[in-house]
Chain A
Amino acid sequence: MLSIRYEAPASVGEAVALLDADEGAKVIAGGTDLLVQYRSGLREPTAFVDVKRIPDLMEISIDADGLVLGAATPAAEVFENTEIRQLWPGVAEATDLIGSTQIQGRATLGGNLCNSSPAADTVPALIAVGAQAVIAGPSGERELAVEDFVTGPGQNVLGRGEFLVKLRVPRPGPRTSDAYLRLIPRTEMDIAVVGAGVALTLDEGGTCTAARVAIGAVAPTALLVPDAAAALVGSSVDDAALAGAAQAASAAASPIDDKRGTVAYRRKVTGVLTQRAAAIAAERARER
């Protein structure tokens, strides 16, 4: 067995060069997915490229445009940030759901996205708030919407030499807020059976003028569900609109049967969580 190298590049450019030169090299952020996969023999990287010494990857900054979140900032640091909790409560609550306190000291939102599990908790929350992924690679930087990042279970758009540098989240306008809910069989430390993230905007009269609904764990990738958003827009987010959103979300789900839940159950719960998350987001939006 060849020894695996450990590399700790200090800049984005250095990391791109390392990843481009060696196809078997893997980025390590918190390692809470990668090291579990490595130790169980699922992955055998030739090198661990630790990106936590690159300042861009560890940055958290909030300005008039919104949030810039370095891909390797630990979940605990994201959740401890009171401004993030106020401006993007749904993203914050999704972040706080990942693992235990210890896991949150390591796990990152970048890793959650790049691991590309359909059940990743922060992904639907990020899609709902319209987050963008900033990717660096041999031919420079590119940016794309989070909903276009994951292409299948464990698969994403990253090509050779590319890695995720940061996430950009637009600043919510007035009366705009978000929420994320997931179902697990207990209160801590489990993988989502269903997840639902909703962000929406109300006008002064309380009518919904914009909405984004995303569901997780019920399809090969987290999905943006425009039909569910359409059911909310133009309404006062009343019971009829919520029921419409629930129905649209259930219809968009294409879950699998496994030990965590059957197809019928997951489909049903997708609607229920969508409806509840939309009601919470609306309540929060009224308070902003």
Chain B
Amino acid sequence: MPKTHVETTINGEPQEFLCEPSESLLAALRDGLGLTGTKEGCTTGDCGACSVMLDGRLVPSCMVLAPEAIGRSIETIEGVAQGDSLHPLQQKFLEHAALQCGVCTPGFIVAAKALLERNPDPSEEETRYWLAGNLCRCTGYDKIIRAVLDAAAEMREATA
């Protein structure tokens, strides 16, 4: 069966892989490239665990075909920390204990980062709506929202 050869950019680095044409980008990232930070929850677009950035837009990678990545630029949770230094969102998730099992966390962080890039000072309501497609079965959300708002405040201070 012919596989499709995909050349793409992931977290700023050129990458290539082979995939089935009908495979999802999520499966290609996890199984093909070993980038298992991006999580699989539902594979039906409902949970947000598989969130990645595709050409600068937040998308569910389970709703993207792997060959669509050809020539595009993808950012995953693996690209969020700078070497050993955590992104403020990651740091705040730890400080606020905004995770329990952690399966939803990469999706929340990628989605929250996309929010803060567009709106450095979101209200609680804006934050809750933006993240409405990220489901968490453990935390009850409040700690996640607090972590995001706290990270936003810290990032604003750092750039002020």
Interface residue ranges, A against B (CB under 8 Å): 3-6, 8, 28, 30-32, 35-36, 38-39, 48, 50, 52, 74, 76, 99-103, 105-106, 187-189
Contact = CB atoms under 8 A, between A and B. Distances in A.
10 contacts: A31-B63, A35-B63, A48-B21, A52-B68, A100-B132, A100-B133, A101-B115, A103-B63, A106-B60, A189-B132
B85 interface: no
Contacts, number: 91
Nearest first, the 6 A-B pairs at minimum CB distance are A100-B133, A6-B21, A105-B59, A6-B67, A4-B22, A188-B132
A105 B131 CA distance: 13
B80 interface: no
B154 interface: no
B60 A103 contact: yes
Interface residues of B, number: 34
B22 A103 contact: no
A105 B21 contact: no
B96 to A, nearest CB: 21
A38 B23 CA distance: 11
Given A3-B20, A6-B4, A99 B65 contact: no
B111 interface: yes
B65 A102 contact: no
A189 B22 CA distance: 26
B114 to A, nearest CB: 8
A188 B63 CA distance: 19
B155 to A, nearest CB: 19
A48 B22 contact: yes
B57 to A, nearest CB: 4
A74 B57 contact: yes
B148 to A, nearest CB: 13
Interface stretch (B7-15, B30-38, B44-52): B44-52
A102 B58 contact: yes
Contacts of A35: 24, 45, 62-63, 65
A148 to B, nearest CB: 29
B91 to A, nearest CB: 23
B47 to A, nearest CB: 9
Given A6-B65, A50-B68, A188-B132, A32 B45 contact: yes
Contact of A39 (B43, B59, B132): B43
B95 to A, nearest CB: 25
B1 A3 contact: yes
B70 interface: yes
B6 to A, nearest CB: 10
- A3, A8, A74, A100 — which one has the most chain B CB atoms within 10 A of its CB? A100
